Amino acid sequence: MPYSISVNGQLRQANVEAETPLLWVLRDTLGLTGTKFGCGAGLCGACSVQLDGQITRSCMVPISAVGAARVVTIEGLSPDRSHRLQQAWIAEQVPQCGYCQSGMLMAADALLKATPQPTDADIAAAMTNLCRCGTYNRVRRAIKRAAGLPVEAA
Amino acid sequence: MSVDQLGRRRLLQGSVAGGLMVAIGPLGASAVPGEAGGQELQSWVRIARDGAVTVLSNTSEIGQGTGTAIAQILADELDLDWRRISLAMAPLDKRYFNPNWGEYGTYGSGGVAYQLAPLRRAGAQARAMLIAAAAREWQVAASECDTDSGDVIHRASGRRAAYGLLVEQAARQPVPTDAPLMPRERLRYIGRDIPRLDLPAKTDGSAVYGIDVRMPGLLSAAIVQCPVFGGRLAGVDRAPAMRMPGVRQVVLLGDAVAVVADSYWRAQKAVDALQPRWDLKRAKRPDSARYMAALHKAVQGDGATFPPAKTTAAQVKVRYAQATRRARRSVERTYAVPFLAHATMEPMNATAVVSQDRAELWVPTQSQTGTQNAVAQLLGLPVSAVTVNTTLAGGGFGRRMELDFALQAVHIAKACGAPVKLIWNRAQDIQHDFYRPAAVVKVTAGVDGDGMPVALRIDSACQSIFQHSRLGEWSKWSRPVDSSAVGDLPDWYPLAALKVQVTTVDVGVPVGFWRSVAATQNVFAFECLIDELAHEARSDPMAYRRKLLPAGGREQRVLDLLAERSSWHRGPAPGRHRGMAFSRANGSLVGHVVELSVDAQRAVQLHQVWTVIDCGTAVNPHNIRAQVEGCIVFALSAAFHGDITLSGGAVMQSNFHDYRLLGLAATPKMDVQIVENWEKPGGAGEEAVGGLTPALVNALFAATGQRIRELPLAKAGFSI
């Protein structure tokens, strides 16, 4: 089936089966490999992208359900790593292996859009992505830094 | 001065390619068999004419950031301008073998620990060659020249030349054997919190992991492996897969079926449509409960005695018998731990192209040499016909030391005559790991009249990692006693006698190296027992351990800093409880304090972890702290949730809903301190795992009065 979806502000075409997850359309059809495959079951969040600003696990969304929603992936966060979260991620040296971090950043961006001054509890509730390297405390600090909130010492 | 012809030629070739290939002195003959006496040179840095520097790392980037540390070391000795440095993986070549392993591989926390000294020497040699080139050009003595962040300078005349302009002449200089190391006061990078070079690409999606490899004509493969360990493929009807869109081929492997398609999703859907028939005649089909019972039984007998270096098993037994005569009483405790999966966030994958006389792979691997050798053997090709390209890896933790996924990709690529990327789904990844062995560890302490241990005996039973890992390449080290079950001998407390006995009980479950390896069971058992002894002696657990450690040594220093950071002697706030542990691993010393509270439903809240590590020279303290934080989370996931169980020889878990990992919400605050010194570097990537669990379990005792001796904690009703 031919589909036309909006990804990072551009209309993109994909001729795939209707049940093909958005994740694999992004990765295999459109070559946007920044969005990662982790579990295929909506459990880990490595594949998180935004659909109309809402954080979404793209492994659980069939291409047929995307419709006119505007998809934003890690490649669309900024053209030059200038997004405040990307800068905060470097300032706090968040990533280790980095594999989950695209999803973390997309989730963090959705959080700050909805809650510009998140509390620890807000961050804990929103950031359910799994990180096997254990970067969680740095993720928390980087979100606060990006939000302009005081960051406790490392 | 000495330059051998081969090395000289290499250097010249390097310069033709646009840069100086820095020579490193020959490795010890023992590290690279057959390469004695300077036959092989190593090259770590390319300097382009425009001054851009590429540092080559021989350590897979699996999250631990060693590449940046290697760049820091070379940047200091070469006096480089950090802003001009980029990082690349070194090709698979003997010049880049880790000197301690004698191969290209990333494990054992050896990236910095075994390479700091040779890398410093290499950098110093290169700097001396650049100085020699400038001195020759300027007709001055080399001793009158110095370097300044990417330039050679001659202070007397004020002359200055950029490395990039000197590089071709420098490559023609002899490699000095006596190049002086940079004095400590001139080190600008080693010991500093330098931002990691690999992180920017990990914030914008541009970092390329194995799963992201793309090339023209690349096909995708998905796989289903026999769910029962030791089973074989009996047959499969290919038709259901072949009917599906985009499917090119069904490939039968000995114990698996793969489908090749034009996209991963189509390949996976087609694999899911197959109903392979499995031959389980030779499978051992273990169940967890029965297996654990067998391990418990095994530790009641005498396993093979481990002889530490320069001792015999007989001497160990005599010393132990003598020491136990001084003991007033004996305390015996038995601990049990389950199989654990690595669960790297990036599932196993590999990309391969195989032709008649060549093979090329792109793999997130920790075993480049091992992969190359195994692929060459599989295809009947010379090793030189197999190229292994290392990609970034979405976690490793020891899983990517194994060769299974790379060999499967080669099989499949050969069968379909096209480039193929094999990707495992999460169920395959969880159910076909090389697991941390399930183990039972019985610890027996002989205690003197003061309540202090004088003799210690450890009886452990588990499968042997050495018999399973890397196709059994190291199985000789599993006999007569399996040293992979021993790991770092727990002799940081200098007791009069220590006897370790191991029984290997194999049921055919693949087992492998899991971040911190045997420490995950042995330090758990050992440091929980020490805590019990302290309690029975009515001693403070910190003071008790301090008394056992050498007076005034680095070990006591770690404990003192730990006590200071955690305000140990002031104790926790009301309702909160603390536990601690201390251990040594890979030349590093680690102490942890865990503070928690437990409610009536046994829900645990972790408030804070304090950790002190003495890993000798800390090349990048910020990154070492990050590694320790990661170790803490890794250990907490295992302690609370980690449990791979077997039924009829098959793993019962399949994804993150039943093999759970700790999340952000449950992660405690952490205070990680590094003891500053310039001692020989130890490991930093895994050494804080082993001690965290006993510190946690000892804190649970403080909170509940219950001694937990079996993991995960979920079995005792604890949740987080």
End-to-end CA distance of chain B: 62
What is the Cα–Cα distance from B637 to A97, expressed in whole angstroms?
A: 18
pLDDT-derived band at B561 (thresholds 50, 70, 90) equals very high
8 Å CB contact between B597 and B703: yes
Q: Which residues of B touch A86 (CB under 8 A)?
A: 203-204
Average pLDDT over residues B574-590: 98
- d(CA B8, nearest CA chain A) in Å: 37
By Cβ distance, the residue of B212, B245, B264 closest to A17 is: B245
Whole-number pLDDT of residue A58: 98
Contacts of A56 (CB under 8 A, 6+ apart): A22, A48, A49, A50
8 Å CB contact between B122 and B25: yes
Of B465, B463, B472, residue with least CA distance to B512: B465
> Of the given ranges (B431-445, B484-498, B567-581, B652-666), which has the lowest mean pLDDT?
B484-498
Average pLDDT over residues A59-79: 98
pLDDT-derived band at B168 (thresholds 50, 70, 90) equals confident
pLDDT tens figures, B409-429: 999 999 999 999 999 999 999
pLDDT-derived band at B628 (thresholds 50, 70, 90) equals very high
pLDDT-derived band at B20 (thresholds 50, 70, 90) equals low
Report how far apart, in Å, the C-alpha atoms of B291 and of each of B45, B227, B231, B501, B505 are: 51, 18, 18, 19, 9
By Cβ distance, the residue of A39, A129, A139 closest to B426 is: A39
The owner of tokens 């989730």 is A107
Q: Is B569 left (phi over 0), alpha (psi -120 to 50) or beta?
A: alpha
8 Å CB contact between B465 and B422: no
B460 touches chain A (CB under 8 A): no
Could you give all domains of chain B from N- to C-terminal order, each with its CATH number? 5-186 (3.30.365.10), 210-281+348-423 (3.30.365.10), 299-338+436-716 (3.30.365.10)
B610 touches chain A (CB under 8 A): no
- d(CA A92, nearest CA chain B) in Å: 9
Whole-number pLDDT of residue A152: 77
Average pLDDT over residues B3-27: 38
By Cβ distance, the residue of A31, A46, A97 closest to B63 is: A97
Q: Is B11 a residue whose pLDDT tops 70?
A: no
Q: Is B433 a residue whose pLDDT tops 80?
A: yes
Whole-number pLDDT of residue B43: 76
Whole-number pLDDT of residue B665: 98
Contact flag B394-A34 (C-beta cutoff 8 Å): no
Chain B CA closest to residue A45? B345
pLDDT-derived band at B6 (thresholds 50, 70, 90) equals very low
8 Å CB contact between B607 and B106: no
Q: Is B14 a residue whose pLDDT tops 50?
A: no
- Residue at A25: amino acid letter: V
| Per-residue 3-state assignment (H helix, E strand, C coil) for B394-457 | CCCCCHHHCCHHHHHHHHHHHHHCCCEEEECCHHHHHHCCCEECCEEEEEEEEECCCCCEEEEE
The torsion angles phi and psi of B385, rounded to 5 degrees, stand at -90, 0
pLDDT-derived band at B252 (thresholds 50, 70, 90) equals very high
Q: Which CATH superfamily is domain A2-75 in?
A: Beta-grasp domain (3.10.20.30)
- Count CB atoms within 10 A of the CB of residue B570: 8
Domain spans of chain A, in order of start:
2-75, 84-146
Contact flag B346-A99 (C-beta cutoff 8 Å): yes
- d(CA B628, nearest CA chain A) in Å: 9
Question: Please, what is the angle between helix A101-114 and helix A136-146, to 10°?
Answer: 40
Of B674, B589, B582, residue with least CA distance to B629: B674
Which pair of tokens denotes residue B315?
A: 């001497």
Give the domain A84-146 fold.
Answer: DNA polymerase; domain 1 (1.10.150)
Whole-number pLDDT of residue B496: 85
Is residue B613 classed exposed, middle or buried when 0-12, 13-18 and 19+ CB atoms within 10 A define those classes? buried
Whole-number pLDDT of residue B21: 53
Contacts of B540 (CB under 8 A, 6+ apart): B534
| Per-residue 3-state assignment (H helix, E strand, C coil) for A35-95 | CCCCCCCCCCCCCEEEECCEEEEHHHCEHHHCCCCEEECHHHCCCCCCCHHHHHHHHCCCC
8 Å CB contact between B390 and B363: yes
B565 touches chain A (CB under 8 A): no
Whole-number pLDDT of residue B15: 37
Report how far apart, in Å, the C-alpha atoms of B591 and of each of B383, B614, B685 are: 44, 9, 15
- d(CA B394, nearest CA chain A) in Å: 5
Whole-number pLDDT of residue B9: 35
8 Å CB contact between B20 and B123: no
Q: Is B145 a residue whose pLDDT tops 70?
A: yes
pLDDT-derived band at B37 (thresholds 50, 70, 90) equals very low
Contact flag A97-B661 (C-beta cutoff 8 Å): no
Q: Is B60 a residue whose pLDDT tops 50?
A: yes
8 Å CB contact between B228 and B656: no
Which pair of tokens denotes residue B629?
A: 């934080």
8 Å CB contact between B707 and B701: yes
Chain B CA closest to residue A91? B195
Kindly report the average pLDDT of chain B as a whole number: 93
The DSSP annotation for B583-631 comes to EEETTEEEEEEEEEEE-TT-BEEEEEEEEEEE-SS-S-HHHHHHHHHHH
What is the Cα–Cα distance from B172 to B150, expressed in whole angstroms?
A: 19
What is the Cα–Cα distance from A71 to A52, expressed in whole angstroms?
A: 7
Provide the number of CB pairs (under 8 Å) joining chain A to chain B: 181
The owner of tokens 């890690």 is A74
B35 touches chain A (CB under 8 A): no
The Cα diameter of chain A in Å comes to 53
> Of the given ranges (B29-43, B93-107, B290-304, B658-672), which has the lowest mean pLDDT?
B29-43
What is the Cα–Cα distance from B565 to B555, expressed in whole angstroms?
A: 16
Which pair of tokens denotes residue B556?
A: 């006591």
Chain B CA closest to residue A89? B203
Which site among B220, B423, B664, B667 would you substitute to test the A interface, given the most A Cβ atoms closer than 10 Å to its Cβ? Answer: B664
- d(CA B407, nearest CA chain A) in Å: 22
Chain B CA closest to residue A37? B346
Chain A CA closest to residue B622? A93
Q: Which residues of B touch A33 (CB under 8 A)?
A: 205, 208, 211-212, 214
Which site among A19, A43, A132, A143 would you substitute to test the B interface, given the most B Cβ atoms closer than 10 Å to its Cβ? Answer: A132
Of B401, B399, B398, B376, residue with least CA distance to B386: B376
pLDDT tens figures, B629-686: 999 999 999 999 999 999 999 999 999 999 999 999 999 999 999 999 999 999 999 9
C-alpha B257 chain-centroid distance = 30
Chain B CA closest to residue A97? B63
Of B639, B649, B642, B640, residue with least CA distance to B290: B649
Contact flag B200-A81 (C-beta cutoff 8 Å): yes
What is the Cα–Cα distance from B79 to B598, expressed in whole angstroms?
A: 53
Estimate the share of chain B in helix, then strand, then coil, as percent rounded to the nearest 5.
Answer: 35, 25, 40
What is the Cα–Cα distance from B337 to A39, expressed in whole angstroms?
A: 25
